[in-house]
Amino acid sequence: MDRFDADMRTVRILVTVLTACAGLAIPLPANADQAEWGINGRFTATSNGEWARTNDRYQNESSIRQVWTISTQCSYPTECTGTVDSDWGWTAPIYQKSGVWYVKRTVDGWEPCPDGTKSPGMQVYRFSRTTPGGDMGDPAATTLVGEDQTTGVSGACGISKPLFIQMPFKLAPA
């Protein structure tokens, strides 16, 4: 490697470092509001049991409608955390990762067993913004859609295969 190539390599490295540092110093656009990045307020949360799948087999389940009060704080448009309070009496954390929102909670006594006992389930709501036309990820959309999945404990009720129920989910302003 001659001196010219070594100097050019140094210049390229310096330009790369300066570009990266300059990117960190660029302020957000004036119209970017952290409150707009999150989900805040009262929403109707609907899990559609008519299209439920139980252990990957379509099976009609009860539809569920709740009112959620959501409070989130965001440090970046795709980095948000907060809390969901349901009118069904539970509270759970909510977070956003890569434009998809997640709410995870344990449901005590979710799976009834033949002997009269009940086993818990892990419920995961996963949803993102969508337009009426079905386009995903539109930041101006007020409706969010996705799925509500609940998984039982393997070995519950003496069965080694866990119960798994998945339903379409919709979150709309109340």
| pLDDT higher than 50, residue 76 | yes
Residue 122's CB is within 10 A of a number of other CB atoms, namely 15
14-53 tens-digit pLDDT: 434 434 443 433 333 434 455 578 999 999 999 999 999 9
Confidence of residue 1 (pLDDT cuts 50, 70, 90): low
Picking from 141, 148, 142, the residue whose alpha carbon sits closest to that of residue 126 is 148
Give the pairing of strands 91-97 and 64-76. unpaired
pTM score > 0.85 for this model?
A: no
Q: Which CATH architecture has domain 34-173?
A: Beta Barrel (2.40)
State the Rg of the chain over Cα: 23
CA distance linking residue 37 with residue 34, whole number of Å = 5
CB-facing half-sphere around the CA of 94: CA atoms within 13 A: 26
